[in-house]
Structure formats: C-alpha cells, structure tokens
Amino acid sequence: MQSFSLAKKLPFSKHPLKTSFSRLIPNLSKNVCFKNQKNVFHDYNFGLTCYNLKRYSQSIGTSSIEQQYINRYWRSVFKGETEKIPKHKLKVIQTEDEMREMIDRIVSQHKIQSALGKYETVHTVRSLEDIKRRLGPERRCFGFFHKNAPLEPLVFVWVALTKGISKSIQGILEDDSLNVHDEAHTANTAIFYSINSQTGVSGVDLGNFLIKRVVSVLQNELPNIETFCTLSPLPNFASWVNKWLTPEIRKNPDLEISKEEENGILSLEPNETVWTEALKKILDARGWISNEEKRDILKPVLLKLATRYVLKEKKPNSIYAYDPVTNFHLRNGASVQSLNWLGDTSYNGVRTSYGIMCNYNYILANIESNNFSYLKRGEIAVSMTGLDPSFNDGIRYVQA
C-alpha cells in the first residue's frame, strides 16, 4: 500500500500535517483501534489440530462456507504463508463458529505479521523466524490500526520483557535462551526497542499515544513490570561526526579529549598528524568494529562524542535536541538513562551510529515534569550517573 493512499483514508483532515492537535483527539478515538500482537502459536491455543480439521471437513458440504475456510487455511499452509498447527498445542474445536473464527484469525494474523516485517525500518526482519522470535511470550508488539485498513498498522512498537535494562540489541533479537513459560512473569523491565510508523501519518503524533497506551496495558497485565525504557539508535550520529569533527574543533573547550586518547588514535593512522582526521579515516574504513585493539582505543572518544551529540547538539535556531530519536523521547517525557558501547553491531548500526545505542527511561513519576521542562526551556532530563560536569548546563538530573 502506498503511503499517500493510506493518508487519504484517514478522516483527520484534508491536510493532516496542518491539523491542530486538539482536533485530532476525537477522530483518533473513533477511527483508530489498538492491538496487542502476540505469536499465533501461543495466543490461539484454543483452536484445532490439522488432523481434526481434516476429519471435520468430511462431515460438511464442499460448497459450504466452512469448507471454504478449511480450503483457505490449507492453501496458506501449502504456500508457506503460515505453518501447520502442531497437534500437541491445540485442542479439538467444538462448533463451526469456533473453526471459522480460528482459521480467519490465523490467516489475518499472518497478514498483520507480514505488514510488521514490511514496515520495520529500525531492525530489519529477515525471515519468519525473526517474526516468531519477536512475538514470543517474553516479547510483544503493539500498534494502532485504522478501521479502513485493519491489517495495516499505522504505528507499532516492539517490546521485550527483560530482567533489568538491556544494553545490546543483539541480546534481544538473537537470544533464544529465555524461558517461554516464566520470563514474562519474572521480568521487571519493558524495553521498547523499535517504533515505526507509516509515512502518511508522519505528521500525527501517534507514537506518543501508543507508548502511553502500552505502558498502561503492561501495568495491568504484568504488575511486576516497574521500569519502562527504550533501547534506541542514534540514526544521525555518524553523519554528524563527519561534519562536526574538523581540525579546528580541537580548540573547543567542551571537547574533553585527553592527550593520551589523541595519541592512541594517531597510532592507528601513522600517516595522519591531526587526530580528528585520523579518527574519521578509521571510522570510514569500518573494519575497526572487528578489531579489538581499535575498539578499545576508539571507545572513550566515541562515547564522549555521543554524549555531546545527545545532550548538547540542537537543531538550527532551536532549543530542542538535534537527534530525531532523542527529540521524540524527550518530548514524550523520557530521560536519558545511558549510552551503550557496541549496543548494535549490525551493518546498519555501525554505519549510522558507530554501534552506540541509547536507553531513554520513562520514569512514570517524572514524565509530566520532564515533558514541560523540555518543551518550555529545552532542558534535557538525565538519569545517568558519572556524567562529566562540563555537560551540566541545560540538563536536569532525575532519580531513576
């Protein structure tokens, strides 16, 4: 579906980007529904086995609606659109209505899952296994869907339920060791690790509504969840470093790079005499991510640059954060919790963020005050510890 065609179906206004915030709220409540997406193999365990489906089909007419639903299910299995339901996971259906509902929900859910993979822009979905892993019992996906496009999410967020705040996206996307029965009930932290929206609704602040709704739902479903935190990329960090890090910037008093750190960078590029140019050459080569010696030398320098990027850099002629993801979460009332070295070692993570990720903490007691201070004065709420005093200007510390 083209983004502009989806925008045309939204009854918000003829020009959604120019519509006032107050006018959107009534339309949102009438036309946008909320869905909590889980894996079909865990959510629909009341249904039917393939064996019972076959047996049941023999007792009804071939032209009936029920037979059409049965054929629809088997076509989706043969095409590889959905997997055959394991016999040991499902029980015998009792009525025709149960069978019709079960098959319809299976096929519809597959279409929703395909749409989630299609519109995922932060962490690429590579296969059906990725989808299954991201929708396991210790994982969630929440989204808003418009009534005119019930299988196309307007905005959706992936959530991982963990013990403690996650520092690495690899641990979330690739970890298969979690206990599928107990993890969700023993976790104390909800990690929002990817939020995506349709291009056609980019001017509507649905992401803010969605995160607040998800927090409410998780609090009711899992009272043991006490911390709501993101694991977010710094999508413009690499491009900012290349533009901002010039030889003249070495004289900037805010740039706390020690002589030892400068010499370490120059030792990796003997032909360069200026450490800023040596650093950019090393980063452009990209092979540093697999070299432990280079990683150890670059770590303190890149983390200092990332701290400045998140806390100090502003949009032109603005009091708000330069990074779009940072600005989004700060506007929603989050605080900067920590910067994580090698948080995303994927190709795209290294290319755009040099592998650094950021935790933004939604401390429920401070959301309103954080939001007001940021929108009014551009003050950034910080819940991280060990921050260099040179960054104290323009930030406010909050208790995590």
Q: Which residues are catalytic?
A: 232, 329
Question: In the chain, how long is the greatest CA-to-CA distance?
Answer: 84
Instruction: Specify whether the CB–CB gap between 383 and 361 falls below 8 A.
Output: yes
Instruction: Specify whether the CB–CB gap between 103 and 73 falls below 8 A.
Output: yes
Instruction: Specify whether the CB–CB gap between 359 and 231 falls below 8 A.
Output: yes
* Nearest-10 Cα torsion for 191, 181, 106, 117: 30
Ramachandran assignment for 286, one of left (phi > 0), alpha (psi -120 to 50 degrees), beta (any other): left
Distance between first and last Cα of the chain? 42
Name the β-bridge partners of 335.
Answer: 361
The whole-angstrom separation of Cα 274 and Cα 279 is 9
Phi, psi for 397 (deg, rounded to 5): -85, 140
Length of the chain: 400
- Amino acid of residue 367: I
- The neighbour count for residue 223, using CB atoms within 10 Å, is 8
The whole-angstrom separation of Cα 301 and Cα 299 is 6
Strands annotated E in 88-217? 139-146, 153-162, 189-197
Structure tokens at 293: 């010696």
User: What is the torsional sign of CA 301, 388, 191, 229?
Assistant: negative
* 357-361 and 335-340 beta bridge pairing: antiparallel
Instruction: Specify whether the CB–CB gap between 243 and 280 falls below 8 A.
Output: no
Angle of helix 50-57 relative to helix 65-78, nearest 10 degrees, comes to 140
Strands annotated E in the chain? 32-37, 139-146, 153-162, 189-197, 227-230, 232-233, 335-340, 357-361, 380-382, 395-397
